Chain A
């Protein structure tokens, strides 16, 4: 009766888990692997990654057809996508959009140009620019200069255009952006939804693909190919890749482990029963994460595969050790203390991760702990009742004999193994500086081929990564723009001094109201300007009456409506302002990206001396690698705490220092072995390898503990050790398959644990010697 209740409770629990999972959101953005409590400068970085303008960009490349065809496709795609409300802007180099930029700059040149001062429009100032203008007319820019001369002898627009010209931009063909080699047409979309809204990003990508397909069939270009990258695309594609991998690898692992179990148990019913603990554990793990975090990261989901490897062990220990003629419950009672200790050590290992400030890690911890607990509980309280009476796995004499032969001779290798491990450990310590992979990319959940494509497209777009940014905070938009202007003055001087090549600032496109008013006030009134101009023109070969449009334009500019954010709308400059001027709950942030900083300490000094409040120079590379180091340090710290907790638990349970040492030595040896193998096979360690090592200890401790058992007879010991072999093979299948995943995280953890499990078992055999207990 009690047995039936247990099954009912278990079924209810599983149903509950399924219900929770059904309502779960899955995400794969990088932000789960960003710190939850960042420093102020990290916060800017994190915000940008999560929902900044940068996160909304989708970079597209179309290739595989003749350039003229690609240009047509680019135009047709842009035309379709511009009509869709999901996109804030589509840029492909077409002059339509640039016409608007040009018109905007032309109409507002006297409000926008920092060169508009009273001195510039005095008689002397005008004369100087008119003399410069003669040079300009003779130069290759002459034709453009000549067109603007009658309206703009002060050269305001030309000055602003040269500024924009100086910024890197893609090559052109047929009126649209192309890669430098002319083989790929380039487009840039900005979505309305933030990059972290994966469903919206996925829809945007679908819309882009549809537009591409239509454009291709209209252009009869069957061979053309579309490539997309960007933060949103990354998230969507890694979600798909991880989901796909998780699904595919779980299926393969399940099939392979099932075949193995079928071969061992020779009973389909036992096979199904053997999978119950794993399945319940995986469901419970996902449900727990979903309840605890509100959503489940794709990587956590992918982790489910690993549970197949480990969770299935519990059932194997039980089934393979049931002796003929004894009940399953009896066997369970016998091995339960060992099993319980094994589970507890695993949980100790993972619980450290629970407290991580990185959501991704904490999720992995919670998932593993709840999964293992439920798997072992199902094995302990549900399985025995479901097993058919008299079930036992028929021992395989030859396999058992072989296992025992190995186990009997293995301890002879103790000394050589000790020595080898000691040497390897010493070598690793000697080169500990180069063990780690410090590239931030190694942390990225994005598959490697996508990272390569992204680099390629960025290069084609002429959009190099920006390393330095000047950041200032302000209470409101006007103050932020004024800070941007003050910083532009400082940076302009430093650029002339060669400290940096160039910079961008939102105030170049949207000056503060104060600056615009000052420029209006600096322009002379009509009578004064006419007189200044007359003086300035004396002796210069300009045709009389040429500058009438200039006088009219200045008069208009003096009472023209000031430029505001709404006025920018529809130009590509609006995108720049949106990305460089941000409203945050705690105020406004203004960002000035710098190009080619040659001397950052000189720049720091200049900024400090400038006295603009709340300014900092942000080195994105330093910031990112600093975050990376924090992350690694934290993982290392929790891994050590986990190891300490495991040792403590072993000490409390085993009570003898010698046994504790004997159980932990094979695990330490396995960890050293895995690190050595990874490093010498050219895989610098990442955080995910570290997590893999933690898992190795968790899994391996089960083997060591079973080896440590003093069994009552050689036959029982043979059963125990054979069950370890089966468990090991299933673990290697589960984790080994994971190493084929396209997601770097899963691949790293998979290969680490698969290897670690094998090492743990071998080293346990070599290093742990147990006789039979006398008392029986």
Chain B
């Protein structure tokens, strides 16, 4: 009913999902040096099929004098399954699977299912994240202006939304990584809010079981 509000919040959920990108295991990267860029980065990413990593996140909101901190686990399975499982300070989960987002907040009795493609901005954000992780460069550039800096060993990927609706919420997304590892993600909102996520090492294989 209050779909303006719903849209807005869904957008944000999309952004957070987009922030839920997970790091990739180290793999062979073409050490081509000067020729290194988005295609090579994507090619390396595409080799990673599944993974679990810890994260810590700090949310800097302009209404607060101190950041809100949280931590948990990120899960990725190629080609389109992402989970952000927050463990501290409260259990929460957001799961993207084939374009469907499910949000569960047990402490507040919230369980919601959203179709990413019902909201153009969310579609852009979610699809681009999926595209990044799946190494789908053409899908990524459909939604974002991309800038890659650095080299395979240590790189920065800057994403600026092309879609007007997405730009109302997110100014840019900065992803930092080493080889096929994402090590950090920063989402800068239009109103000066920032979410900074540090992605840690891979969890042991035994933890792969759901």
Given A99-B4, A169-B1: A143 touches B62 (CB 8 Å cut-off) = no
Q: Count the A residues whose beta carbon is within 8 Å of the partner chain — how many?
A: 39
Q: How large is the interface on B (under 10, 10 to 19, 20 to 34, 35 or more residues)?
A: 35 or more
A98, B64: Cβ atoms closer than 8 Å: no
What are 14 inter-chain pairs, A to B, with CB distance below 8 A?
Answer: A95-B3, A98-B4, A137-B61, A138-B89, A139-B108, A140-B9, A144-B9, A162-B110, A164-B1, A167-B1, A172-B118, A182-B115, A546-B63, A572-B1
B5, A144: Cβ atoms closer than 8 Å: yes
- For residue B8, which residues in chain A have a CB less than 8 angstroms away from its CB? 143-144, 147
B63, A161: Cβ atoms closer than 8 Å: no
Closest CB-CB distance, B92 to chain A, in whole Å? 6
Between A143, A149, A178, A572, the greatest number of chain B beta carbons within 10 A of the residue's beta carbon is seen for A143
Given A137-B61, A173-B118: A143 touches B66 (CB 8 Å cut-off) = no
- For residue B3, which residues in chain A have a CB less than 8 angstroms away from its CB? 93, 95, 98, 172, 175
B16 within 8 A of partner (CB): yes
Q: How far is the CA of A98 from the CA of B94 in the complex (A)?
A: 27
Q: Which residue of B lies closest to A135 (CB)?
A: B90
Contact partner, B1, options A101, A140, A150, Cβ 8 Å: A101
Given A140-B12, A144-B5, A144-B8: A543 touches B59 (CB 8 Å cut-off) = no
B210 within 8 A of partner (CB): no
B103 within 8 A of partner (CB): yes
- For residue A93, which residues in chain B have a CB less than 8 angstroms away from its CB? 3
The 8 A CB mask of B127-139 against A (1 = contact, 0 = none) is: 0000000000000
List chain B positions with a Cβ less than 8 A from chain A.
1-9, 11-13, 16, 59, 61-66, 68, 70, 89-90, 92, 94, 103, 105, 107-108, 110, 112, 115, 117-119, 169, 189, 193
A426 within 8 A of partner (CB): no
A542 within 8 A of partner (CB): yes
A441 within 8 A of partner (CB): no
A140, B64: Cβ atoms closer than 8 Å: no
A140, B59: Cβ atoms closer than 8 Å: no
**Given contact pairs A101-B2, A141-B9, a sample of 18 additional A-B residue pairs in the complex whose CB atoms are under 8 Å apart:** A95-B3, A98-B3, A99-B4, A134-B68, A135-B107, A138-B59, A140-B103, A141-B110, A142-B12, A149-B63, A165-B6, A167-B1, A169-B1, A171-B115, A172-B3, A173-B118, A541-B66, A543-B64
Contact partner, B63, options A146, A173, A178, A572, Cβ 8 Å: A146
Given A150-B63, A543-B63: A143 touches B1 (CB 8 Å cut-off) = no
B94, A542: Cβ atoms closer than 8 Å: no
Contact partner, B5, options A149, A161, A182, Cβ 8 Å: A161
A391 within 8 A of partner (CB): no
- For residue B7, which residues in chain A have a CB less than 8 angstroms away from its CB? 95
Closest CB-CB distance, B192 to chain A, in whole Å? 11
A102 within 8 A of partner (CB): yes
Q: How far is the CA of A178 from the CA of B118 in the complex (A)?
A: 9
Contact partner, B2, options A137, A161, A171, Cβ 8 Å: A161
Q: How far is the CA of A162 from the CA of B119 in the complex (A)?
A: 20
B108, A135: Cβ atoms closer than 8 Å: yes
Closest CB-CB distance, A432 to chain B, in whole Å? 47
- For residue A149, which residues in chain B have a CB less than 8 angstroms away from its CB? 63
Between A135, A140, A161, A175, the greatest number of chain B beta carbons within 10 A of the residue's beta carbon is seen for A140
B68, A102: Cβ atoms closer than 8 Å: no
Q: How far is the CA of A50 from the CA of B189 in the complex (A)?
A: 54
- For residue B13, which residues in chain A have a CB less than 8 angstroms away from its CB? 140
The 8 A CB mask of A473-503 against B (1 = contact, 0 = none) is: 0000000000000000000000000000000
The 8 A CB mask of A80-112 against B (1 = contact, 0 = none) is: 000000000000010100110110010000000
Taking chain B's interface residues, is the majority helix, strand, or loop, or is none over half, making it mixed?
A: mixed
Closest CB-CB distance, B196 to chain A, in whole Å? 14
The 8 A CB mask of A181-199 against B (1 = contact, 0 = none) is: 0100000000000000000
Q: How far is the CA of A135 from the CA of B103 in the complex (A)?
A: 15
Q: Which residue of B lies closest to A143 (CB)?
A: B12
- For residue B6, which residues in chain A have a CB less than 8 angstroms away from its CB? 165
Q: How far is the CA of A162 from the CA of B45 in the complex (A)?
A: 39
A140, B2: Cβ atoms closer than 8 Å: no
Q: Which 4 A-B pairs have the closest CB atoms?
A: A143-B12, A541-B66, A144-B9, A95-B4
A137, B59: Cβ atoms closer than 8 Å: yes
Q: Which residue of B lies closest to A105 (CB)?
A: B2
Q: How far is the CA of A127 from the CA of B2 in the complex (A)?
A: 28
Given A99-B4, A144-B12, A172-B119: A542 touches B65 (CB 8 Å cut-off) = yes
- For residue A172, which residues in chain B have a CB less than 8 angstroms away from its CB? 3, 118-119
Closest CB-CB distance, B89 to chain A, in whole Å? 8
- For residue A171, which residues in chain B have a CB less than 8 angstroms away from its CB? 115, 118
- For residue A141, which residues in chain B have a CB less than 8 angstroms away from its CB? 9, 12, 110
The 8 A CB mask of A389-417 against B (1 = contact, 0 = none) is: 00000000000000000000000000000
- For residue B112, which residues in chain A have a CB less than 8 angstroms away from its CB? 165
Q: How far is the CA of A546 from the CA of B108 in the complex (A)?
A: 25
Q: Which residue of B lies closest to A139 (CB)?
A: B105
Q: Which residue of A lies closest to B107 (CB)?
A: A135
- For residue A135, which residues in chain B have a CB less than 8 angstroms away from its CB? 90, 107-108
- For residue A173, which residues in chain B have a CB less than 8 angstroms away from its CB? 117-118
Q: How far is the CA of A105 from the CA of B6 in the complex (A)?
A: 15
A140, B63: Cβ atoms closer than 8 Å: no
Between A139, A147, A161, A546, the greatest number of chain B beta carbons within 10 A of the residue's beta carbon is seen for A139
Closest CB-CB distance, A680 to chain B, in whole Å? 47
Closest CB-CB distance, B173 to chain A, in whole Å? 15
The 8 A CB mask of A265-280 against B (1 = contact, 0 = none) is: 0000000000000000
Closest CB-CB distance, A760 to chain B, in whole Å? 60
Q: How far is the CA of A766 from the CA of B62 in the complex (A)?
A: 97
Given A135-B90, A172-B119, A543-B65: A102 touches B108 (CB 8 Å cut-off) = no
Q: How far is the CA of A150 from the CA of B63 in the complex (A)?
A: 8
- For residue B103, which residues in chain A have a CB less than 8 angstroms away from its CB? 140
- For residue B94, which residues in chain A have a CB less than 8 angstroms away from its CB? 140
Q: How far is the CA of A144 from the CA of B110 in the complex (A)?
A: 15
The 8 A CB mask of A449-482 against B (1 = contact, 0 = none) is: 0000000000000000000000000000000000
Q: How far is the CA of A572 from the CA of B4 in the complex (A)?
A: 14
Q: Which residue of A lies closest to B105 (CB)?
A: A139
Q: How far is the CA of A175 from the CA of B3 in the complex (A)?
A: 8
Interface hits, A114-150 → B, CB 8 Å: 134-144, 146-147, 149-150
Q: How far is the CA of A146 from the CA of B61 in the complex (A)?
A: 8
Given A98-B3, A172-B118: A143 touches B64 (CB 8 Å cut-off) = no
Q: How far is the CA of A147 from the CA of B70 in the complex (A)?
A: 21
- For residue B1, which residues in chain A have a CB less than 8 angstroms away from its CB? 98, 101, 164-165, 167, 169, 572
- For residue B193, which residues in chain A have a CB less than 8 angstroms away from its CB? 143, 146
- For residue A546, which residues in chain B have a CB less than 8 angstroms away from its CB? 63
Contact partner, B16, options A140, A162, A542, Cβ 8 Å: A140
A542, B105: Cβ atoms closer than 8 Å: no
